């Protein structure tokens, strides 16, 4: 577990677009130790409490502007992920047991404290990871409490365990940042170790429920950048009626050290970030489907 629990450069969790250079309010010292119930997820009773949603296994959080949704947002990174993406830049979020346990009520309190910032900036709460839906009860409670307080809500998910998201949760969700790792089945499996079908099913549910979707796609040279693969992601995004934005995120090497620290094999050490032309070409494929691309 990193001791720096607050991202300093907006790259703590999932692949994300660059944050605003001038975050309006990035409080200092937002560690997990200052809230009730913080501790390690080591006892079976704690695991049970995570399952019931009483406590959450949290990697970190941060207050950011212009990433993870509109306005200034409190982004909470929950621990645990069913995927094993080759390009994951935060592999220390993969295992739930590596997170710190925090009372969900404390997270709610923290969120409510920023209500005025959210109102002024048009921001809100984003639950990311890891994969937030590995802790569906925690997500359920945070979404409910946020909606009751009039706070805009978002989750950042691959959709791989979208079946854990209930219809009620969808009703309390304003925006889904949907990470589509690949459009070709074969490439998806190579990238993540899992399959694409659950993401497609979840994308359909989001559209049917009227939840706004921002699709995120990481462009990795030699892995996800084949035209055919990008075209399939674009075709899928184009069928999601509520998709208002696509973000093409260039691969980077910022997570490499973490893989080594964890003793995990990092297979992309020799891969360079995509060229500007390569990124633009990918964006053009999405644009050709009538999608708004960033």
Q: Which of 85, 175, 249, 293 binds ligand SF4 (CB under 6 A)?
A: 85
Q: Is 10 in the site for ligand SF4 (CB under 6 A)?
A: no
Least distance between ligand SF4 and beta carbon 139 (Å): 15
Query: DSSP string covering 107-172, please?
Result: HHHHHHHTHHHHHHHT-EEEEESS-GGGSHHHHHHHHHHHHHTT-EEEEEE-STTGGGS-HHHHHT
Shortest reach from residue 284's CB to ligand SF4, in Å: 25
Q: Is 224 in the site for ligand SF4 (CB under 6 A)?
A: no
DSSP state of 290: T
Would you say 94 or 165 has its CB closer to ligand SF4?
A: 94
Rounded to whole angstroms, the Cα distance separating 243 from 206 reads 9
**Closest approach of ligand SF4 to the CB of residue 103, in Å:** 23
- Taking CB under 6 A as the rule, does residue 62 contact ligand SF4? no
- Find the binder of ligand SF4 among 81, 133, 142, 223 (CB under 6 A): 81
94: contact with ligand SF4 by CB under 6 A: yes
Cα angle 177, 179, 183 (rounded to 5 degrees) comes to: 140
| Closer CB to ligand SF4, 17 or 119, in the complex | 17
With binding defined as CB under 6 A, does residue 247 bind ligand SF4? no
Which candidate, 208, 244, 76, places its Cα nearest to that of 145?
76
Coil, strand or helix at 262: coil
68 binds ligand SF4 (CB under 6 A): no
Tell whether residue 83 is a contact of ligand SF4 (CB under 6 A): yes
CA 179 to the chain's CA centroid: 8
Tokens of 136: 């569906």
Residue ranges in 7-135 assigned as alpha helix (H): 44-52, 104-113, 115-121
Report if residue 93 touches ligand SF4, rule: CB under 6 A. yes
Count of residues of this chain found to bind ligand SF4 when the rule CB under 6 A is applied: 13
Among 88, 139, 177, 196, binds ligand SF4 (CB under 6 A): 88
**Of 6, 101, 5, 99, nearest in space to 56 by CA:** 101
Return the half-sphere exposure (C-beta side, CA atoms, 13 A cut-off) of residue 77.
Answer: 32
Stretch binding ligand SF4 (CB under 6 A), from 90-98, 202-210, 243-251, 263-271: 90-98
Interface with ligand SF4, residue 158, by CB under 6 A? yes
Contacts (CB under 6 A) with ligand SF4, residues 252-291 = none
Hey, which residues between 117 and 156 contact ligand SF4 (CB under 6 A)? 129-131
Q: How would you classify the pairing of strands 124-128 and 175-179?
A: unpaired
Residue 178 binds to ligand SF4 (criterion: CB under 6 A): no
The C-alpha atoms of residue 15 and residue 87 are separated, in whole angstroms, by 9
**Nearer Cβ to ligand SF4, position 108 or 154?**
154
Residues across the chain: 294
Query: Which CB, 118 or 181, lies closer to ligand SF4?
Result: 181
Binding site for ligand SF4 (CB under 6 A): 14, 81, 83-85, 88, 90, 93-94, 129-131, 158
């Amino acid at each position: 577990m990193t001791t720096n629990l607050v991202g300093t450069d907006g790259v703590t969790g999932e692949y994300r677009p660059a944050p605003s250079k001038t975050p309006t309010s990035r409080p200092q010292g937002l560690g997990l130790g200052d809230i009730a119930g913080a501790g390690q997820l080591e006892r079976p009773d704690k695991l049970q409490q995570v399952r019931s949603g009483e406590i959450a296994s949290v990697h970190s959080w941060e207050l950011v502007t212009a990433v993870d949704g509109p306005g200034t947002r409190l982004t909470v990174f929950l621990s645990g992920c069913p995927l094993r993406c080759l390009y994951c830049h935060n592999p220390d979020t993969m295992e739930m047991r590596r997170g710190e346990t925090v009372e969900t009520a404390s997270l709610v309190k923290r969120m409510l404290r920023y209500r005025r910032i959210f109102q002024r900036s048009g921001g809100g709460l984003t639950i990311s990871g890891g994969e937030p839906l590995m802790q569906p009860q925690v997500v359920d409670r945070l979404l409910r409490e946020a909606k009751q307080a009039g706070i805009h809500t978002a989750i950042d998910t691959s959709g791989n365990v979208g079946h854990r998201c209930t219809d009620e949760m969808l009703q309390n969700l304003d925006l889904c940042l949907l990470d589509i790792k690949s459009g070709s089945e074969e490439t998806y499996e190579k990238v993540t170790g899992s399959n694409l079908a659950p993401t497609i099913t979840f994308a359909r549910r989001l559209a049917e429920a009227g939840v706004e979707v921002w699709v995120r796609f990481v462009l990795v040279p030699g892995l996800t950048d084949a035209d055919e693969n990008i075209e399939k992601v674009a075709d899928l995004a184009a069928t999601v009626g509520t998709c208002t934005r696509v973000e093409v995120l260039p691969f980077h090497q910022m997570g490499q050290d973490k893989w080594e620290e964890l003793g995990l094999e990092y297979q992309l050490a020799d891969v360079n970030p995509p060229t500007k032309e390569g990124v633009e070409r990918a964006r053009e494929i999405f644009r050709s489907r009538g999608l708004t691309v960033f």
